[in-house]
Structure 1
Amino acid sequence: MLMMLRTDKPSRRCAINGRFLAQPMTGVQRYAYEIVSALDAILSTEPDAALAFSLVVPPQTRHPIDLQRIELVRTTFGSGHVWDQITLPRHAADVGLNLANFGPLLARRQIVCIHDANTFVVPDSYSRKFGLAYRTLLPIMGRMAARVATVSQFSADMLVKFGVTRRDKIFIAPNGHEHVLRWDSARARLPILQQLTRPYVLLLGSTAKHKNVDVIIRQADALDAAGIDILVAGGAFSIFASDGPAATRRNVHHLGFVEDDQLAALYEGALCLVFPSKTEGFGIPPLEAMAKGCPVISSNAASLTEVGGDAVLYVAPDDGQGWRDAIIRLSQAPDLRRSLSAQGRKRAELFSWKRSADLYLNELLRLATSRPTPSV
């Protein structure tokens, strides 16, 4: 339940790090965008909220955001981590909120969401420069911040295991599903969906090694014989190390980056989403698929069983035959597909941006009204 402290006028201020609006929209940026939007919606119903919020953004923002109660503060110089450390602190408030892994390293009265410990868990998946930077800076953030949010119990366990932060500092604020309800497949223009004459499985992910997309591509010939195509969506990012592009087969169609409405159409038309990742801090594609009624076959690794519960079919990440058998089985079992679709929709409702925003608001209120304590 939301605990709102009320005063006639907000006596304390919270500055939200808006650098995520200047970054490409991946899962981390989606999380920050949706939490800020949900916070704004909550504040719009609480005219006497005890905290006044501002969203401080760099000059080169990419994504518009519509806010009613949170003040948008545009800065005029800086970018990247330099902006975090030099520009953002000039707009310091009583408390700070950082939703995309990093913030001012020297600020103590702040919350930082560290989404995962993947650069420790799977260091070979990342470029040398990126991995070294994260393995150096994340423990500093985890030590200096007053509170550390993360998105799953698995992620919390990994942050503790690798010394990023203490367990008593952590609270879990998962991803939500409501953004999917705004997507409209009727607006999508995807010629491939008109060209295909057979069922398809949807494979999402970058070329990062831990996304493990090749385990599905290696089943392409067997799936082709079973009358099933594979649509591969997602972009490559420079932060990841890769073994190169997945091999091409006649039933494998590479779509590259797709917009939200296009993704909605892909989910709605798919036989299932296949998600063979070896590690995830949360893993939002299975949640999105479930919210759209798309059956899911997922890896049983890391946080993914937390997300899918009993509404998903699971396969060990490297069990190629298991993936092939699960896909073909699902293609031949319409009752199972309908059951997974219904269970998935119900499961998705357990994950809410609003509930996670409530958690942040309560933590920020406690932090704003507490006495400063040393971070160690």
Structure 2
Amino acid sequence: MPELVVLTEQLLSPVPGGTGRYTRELAAALAAAAPVGWTVRGVTARHADLSPAAIPGVLGPRALALPRRALTLAWEYGMPLWPGGDMVHAPTPLAPPARGGLVVTVHDTVPFTHPETLTPRGAAWHRKVIRRATATAAAVIVPTQAVADDLARHAPGPAPVHVIGHGVTAAEPTPVDGLPPEYVLAIGTVEPRKGLDTLVAAMAGLSRAALVVVGPRGWGEVDLDALADRHGLPRARLHVLGRVTDGELATVLRQAAVLAAPSRAEGFGLPVLEAMAAGVPVVHSDAPALVEVAGGAGITARRDDPADLARALREVLERPDTAADLVARGRARAAGFTWAGAAEAVWRLHVSHWANKSGEGS
């Protein structure tokens, strides 16, 4: 019975982020859509508690012998520690050296295009393992054509690159106390790449609406309170919620007046689709991947331009007809992205490569 191993290590990261959500949702969808005879198993590094990596329908998780840091270094330097399985899906570039049965998802090209928004070590590691994936993996998956185009420029290789978008998850809302009556929402890890400094400055130029920020703290020491003080945004209009549950996120999202996605660089931008699916208007930066994902169903603002971002937010906050139009177009756009559809496309790659491997070995 063939087995697909999904590397679910990202779920055990201190800050799983958007790639953690991708890992969980895609693995669950792969298990639900498994072809007859196939099983799906999660594999991680060694940890004292593997429960955050448990996914309904996915066997395991099974831990490898090495802890996370040692496993990362071992794979980085080419140690052939194979995680088992007939095919392996790496939902992030953390992957073993390829030996014919590996498919890797590369979420963005930020390490090449915006290395200053990552730690120096993080940028260098990602460049190395992404180049190895495009050189040796059976296939590489990217979420947008924008990422595919960037890979062709910065990390060309013989591995075929396939564009497979993310899906949208509809979580059951749970109560959240203390939300302001009208607010602009930002979702994502609080780090330099997300452009939250631009958003805070833009909000200071608006006479209405609070700013609600959802997401864990990342690297870079982005201090939202200090940014508010610097730009003149009253602390009473800034609400930093940090990490929330999926149910709380659903509530915070549905009650927002507008979602702001001011990122300097993205590979996909899942909050944009999640907002559209929830009937929330979207304002996003002109980062190519966000423009591609929004598909004309949001309002675009220039990156690093607080005045232009404030202009875009006013269009939504002060014009009900504009907001209503964005809601209608957003719902239609989001309907085309499902995890079931993503899993079906990913399965086609794995089954095809497994059949080729089996044929070569017979």
Residues 125 and 242 of structure 1 are in contact (CA less than 8 Å); yes or no, is this contact kept in structure 2? no
Letter in 1 for 2:161: I
2:22 is the alignment partner of 1:35: no
1:282 aligns with 2:268: yes
Instruction: Specify which structure has the bigger relative contact order, considering alpha-carbon pairs within 8 angstroms and separated by 6 or more residues.
Output: 1
Quote the residue 1:163 is aligned against: 155
Range with greater deviation from structure 2 (322-331 or 358-367):
322-331
Deviation at 1:212, TM superposition (A): 1.3
Label 1:52 to 1:232 Cα distance change in 2 as closer, same or farther (>3 A).
Answer: closer
Q: 4+ residue stretches of structure 1 with deviation over 6 A?
A: none
Amino acid at match of 2:218: F
Look up the match of 2:212.
Answer: 231
CA distances 1:1-60 after superposition (whole Å, capped 9, x unpaired): xxxxxxxxx3x33322222232233111111111111111112xx5x34x3432223343
Distance 1:135 1:64, change over 3 A: closer
> Which consecutive unaligned segments of at least 5 residues does structure 2 have?
none
Note if contact 2:5-2:83 (Cα within 8 Å) is conserved in structure 1: yes
Deviates more, 1:209-218 or 1:12-21: 12-21
Q: Match for residue 91 of structure 2?
A: 99
Match in the other structure for 1:67: 56
Between the aligned partners of 2:104 and 2:354, the Cα distance in structure 1 is 15
Counterpart of 1:257 (choices 243, 250, 256) is: 243
Look up the SS of the partner of 1:75 in the other structure: strand
CA distance in 2, matches of 1:369, 1:150: 23
Distance change (3 Å), C-alpha of 1:216 and 1:255: same
Which residue number corresponds to residue 146 of structure 1?
Answer: 138
Please, which runs of 5 or more residues in structure 1 have no aligned partner?
A: 1-9
Q: TM-score, normalising length from structure 2?
A: 0.87
- Cα distance, 1:308 vs. partner? 0.8
Q: Pick closer, same or farther for the CA change 1:310–1:217 going to 2, 3 Å.
A: same
What pairs up with 1:141-220 in 2 under 5 angstroms?
Answer: 141-163=133-155, 165-166=157-158, 169-177=160-168, 179=169, 181-184=170-173, 187-191=174-178, 193=179, 196-197=180-181, 199-220=182-203
* Post-superposition offset of 1:119: 0.8
Q: By how many angstroms is 1:137 displaced?
A: 2.4
Partner of 1:6: none
Contact 2:186 2:214 in 1 (8 A): yes
Q: Which of 2, 9, 12 is residue 22 of structure 1 equivalent to?
A: 12
Aligned to 2:41: 54
What CA deviation, in whole Å up to 9, does each residue of 1:279-311 have, x standing for no partner?
Answer: 100011111111111110111222111111121
Alignment RMSD: 2.5
Are the structure 2 counterparts of residues 243 and 65 from structure 1 closer, same or farther at C-alpha, using a change threshold of 3 Å? closer
C-alpha distance 122-93 of structure 1, shift in aligned 2 (>3 A): same
* Structure 1 Cα separation of the partners of residues 204 and 355 of structure 2: 61
For each residue in 1:52-74, what CA deviation from the matched residue of structure 2 results, as whole angstroms up to 9, or x when unmatched? 43222334325253433x43252
- The CA distance in 2 between the partners of 1:289 and 1:253, in whole Å, is 19
What count of residue pairs does the alignment treat as equivalent?
346
